[in-house]
Structure 1
């Protein structure tokens, strides 16, 4: 009897059988988008935006299911489930497996480099100035830290993989960005590649924010967009239509803008607003 009950509860977590009006949201332990533990628990960017949608749809139950990041796309593509993910890159391959909103669900600044404030001053890199990753590596001969098997867009990936005689430190662990941030603070690497909100969250949570800063890259696009993706089923198509409609509503609110900029350093918040206008 207990085994049957457990199986039923597990199935209910990923299907709409147990509740006629349910949207299942796949989440994962990836700060600052989802913060599942610690001082800032529940204050992640993506989970905040899901809550804004939930407030718009009080007649629908929002069910959160935590899955490993490595299983996210696989779970979403499985048509025996009906689930959605808030902030996904939309490409042709994924369109074959799932359905997406036309409206973006998240907008963020593209990849940046984190570095010591003293190094930024020594290189005369102003707070609001973009820098060239190629120049930092090839001309300044700085040591770059990157996470293994992570893409940052065609232009930046090409610089990392094709520029001769560059000094790169790669970390393959699950918490690679945190490990590299620790190395950056100790000056074992000079610059660290990631996304602005990730850099800021890690520096703040590790109490390095007084030592580290970051700069946007000239080789990166102005903004990175994420979309809601849902399982490609009849219910998923209905969910996408509904969520697309309500994204248009919440994107006009201050709460939405605040969620996007919450985990940005103060000197980059105006840049996000300027690029979004």
Structure 2
């Protein structure tokens, strides 16, 4: 009934473009596991429960995704966004979709990083101190939300921005010894390392000032129709939570 009232009031069918980026193991846009990521499977369930919406999918990189949320002429939504005050200016957030491990530093075992001064007493790593070591090269993916220590580290020339893709990802950079350490989420590194059986050679430690866990949400831009779209998405999420498929995803 609500969907019908909204359709009549607006005078046109509601259209949503779902923005996706290559983000294994949650969104996988190519390869043998294409469309089999955790958010890929959840999105299929959500879309099925929203027949009042015309759904389209567009694959973009992180930079274009951030830009797309700044416009309000068409409805765009995406899975897997972390809440920040800056993003909340241009986005509506759904109910929480997932709770995931926080950001981490990954490096090869048996290197000088095992005893580096950047290692803290609690087992975490001060990324700022790592970047100050000109003998080391680190990598991070730009256009993400990062804690202050990582943002400070980006001002150093030996801490380089790199677009992580399925082909050239954080794990591949480490294993090939192109860099000494990378900043990446643990579940992403685990997925990539399993692809080349290198998990035992990589050590993972938390970023010192990063939250140990992050909540992930569906977000939509602040178009005129977005508040209603978010309401529908929240209702669909509640329905999906009751299914066995959601627990498996």
d(CA) in 2 for partners of 1:83, 1:257: 26
Answer yes or no: is 1:222 the counterpart of 2:212: yes
Q: Against the structure 1 CA distance between its residues 237 and 188, is the aligned structure 2 distance closer, same or farther, given a 3 Å change threshold?
A: closer
Aligned to 2:32: 39
Q: Describe the superposition over 1:73-127 as per-residue Cα deviations: whole angstroms up to 9, x where unpaired.
A: 33233222122112223334433333222x123321111122335559x66xxxx
Contact 1:178 1:202 in 2 (8 A): no
Q: Shift of residue 194 of structure 1? A: 0.9
Aligned to 1:66: 59
Gap regions ≥5 residues in structure 1:
1-16, 124-128, 260-277
TM-score for both structures, normalised by structure 2: 0.71
Note the aligned Cα RMSD (angstroms): 3.9
Q: For 1:31-180, list aligned pairs within 5 A.
A: 31-57=24-50, 60-101=53-94, 103-118=95-110, 130-133=123-126, 137=130, 143=136, 145-147=138-140, 149-151=142-144, 153-157=146-150, 160=153, 168-173=158-163, 175=165, 178=168, 180=170
Contact 2:16 2:56 in 1 (8 A): yes
Q: How many residues are matched?
A: 233
Aligned to 2:229: 239
d(CA) in 1 for partners of 2:48, 2:158: 45
Q: Describe the superposition over 1:235-271 as per-residue Cα deviations: whole angstroms up to 9, x where unpaired.
A: 2111111112222343455544543xxxxxxxxxxxx
Q: For 1:14-29, list aligned pairs within 5 A.
A: 20=13, 22-29=15-22
Q: Shift of residue 158 of structure 1? A: 5.6
d(CA) in 1 for partners of 2:162, 2:126: 21
SS at match of 1:182: helix
Contact 1:104 1:225 in 2 (8 A): yes
d(CA) in 2 for partners of 1:23, 1:173: 27
TM-score for both structures, normalised by structure 1: 0.65
SS at match of 1:132: coil
Aligned to 1:14: none
d(CA) in 2 for partners of 1:29, 1:148: 12
Higher helix proportion (structure 1 or 2):
1
